[in-house]
Structure 1
Amino acid sequence: MHSAAKAYGQVAQQIANPRELEARLLLKAAARLQHVREDWEKDRSDLSDALLYNRKLWTVFLTSVTSPDHALPAAVRQNVANLGLFVMNQTIEMVREPRPEALAPLININREIAAGLLGQP
């Protein structure tokens, strides 16, 4: 987890807007998962790394939103935490029983949150 937090911190220094940083990281995770899904029949060697990257990213989000001094309203923090728990459970399920269709919710959640952070409909 330290490497994900470190990478997050390094990129944060390069990008002035934290929301944009979070969106870019979510889109990167979604793209990695989508690549695995598209190449499922030929090569899924990247599955473990893509899931790990996504899990580390969501671990950082979960740690952040569950901090008592986080600036978001409690209801929003709770929603993000619930999504994070779903992502973690879905990831565990993917490790137990890998199925390409099970990647769709992870990809969609990341893309939807990123769109919201970027102010897109």
Structure 2
Amino acid sequence: MNTPYASQQRQALNNAPPQAAEGWALIEMARRIDEAKRAEPGSERDAQLTDLVRRNWRMWTLLQAALVDPECTVPLEIRQNLLNLSNFIDKRSVDLLAEMDAAKLDVLVNINRQIGAGLMGNPSDDPAEAARLKAEAAERQKAVPDEAEAAGAPAPSAPTTPGDATTDTEA
């Protein structure tokens, strides 16, 4: 669907830091799995769930590949924890593909939501790192044509951190 809102959302996602895009993908997959799980039981629902479990597994495989990359900047302890979680996702996915059980999907949905929410949060508590990420996002926004403005929708505002807020007395 190509509505001004959808264009604005795509533009915001294009200008988001990579971890925010990964977080959105995890949360969206959790939403899709949860929605399909609530559908009327039957072979059609099982086929849809099987497809979604495969897609979720692929997504986690891509995350695994990024985490084992020698140039990965994620701290070692977090990387190890995410890789352990990925191994669990692998095993649960294989179990579900062998025998679909909607009750076993809750753990995948919860993991995706929790990790996704963490990725979409403030990528850094370090003000210098937050400023660097904000500057990179602004540069990406300048380099990409503004689809939202072309569609007549207002452009999304740049993400702010609590330190960016100014009051009338400060300005």
Give the TM-score taking structure 1 as reference length: 0.82
- CA distance in 2 between partners of 1:47 and 1:60 (Å): 20
- Select which of 114, 117, 120 maps to 1:115: 117
| Structure 1 residues 85 and 100: CA distance shift in structure 2, 3 A | same
1:49 is matched with: 51
Larger fraction in helix = 1
Contact preservation (8 Å) 1:40, 1:100: no
Amino acid at match of 2:87: L
Report the count of equivalent residues.
109
**Alignment partner, residue 81 of structure 1:** 83
User: Over the residues paired in the alignment, what is the CA RMSD in angstroms?
Assistant: 1.9
Note the C-alpha offset of 1:14.
2.0
Cα offset, 1:83, TM superposition: 0.7
In the TM superposition, what is the alpha-carbon distance from 1:86 to its structure 2 partner?
0.5
Q: How does 1:33-44 map to 2 (within 5 A)?
A: 33-39=33-39, 41-42=41-42, 43-44=44-45
CA distance in 1, matches of 2:113, 2:55: 15
Tell me what 1:16 maps to.
16
For structure 1, which segment, 63-72 or 111-120, has the greater mean C-alpha deviation from structure 2 after superposition?
A: 111-120
4+ long deviations beyond 3 Å:
none
List alignment gaps of at least 5 residues for structure 2. Answer: 1-10, 123-171
**Aligned equivalents of 2:90, 2:15: Cα separation in 1:** 27
AA aligned opposite 1:95: L
Unaligned regions of 5+ residues in structure 1, if any? 1-10
Q: Deviations over 1:48-88 (max 9, x none)?
A: 21011101110100000011221011111001101111111
The percentage of counterpart residues that share the same residue type is 29
Computing the radius of gyration over CA atoms, which structure comes out larger, 1 or 2? 2
- 1:6 aligned partner: none
Task: Report how far residue 25 of structure 1 moved.
Answer: 0.4
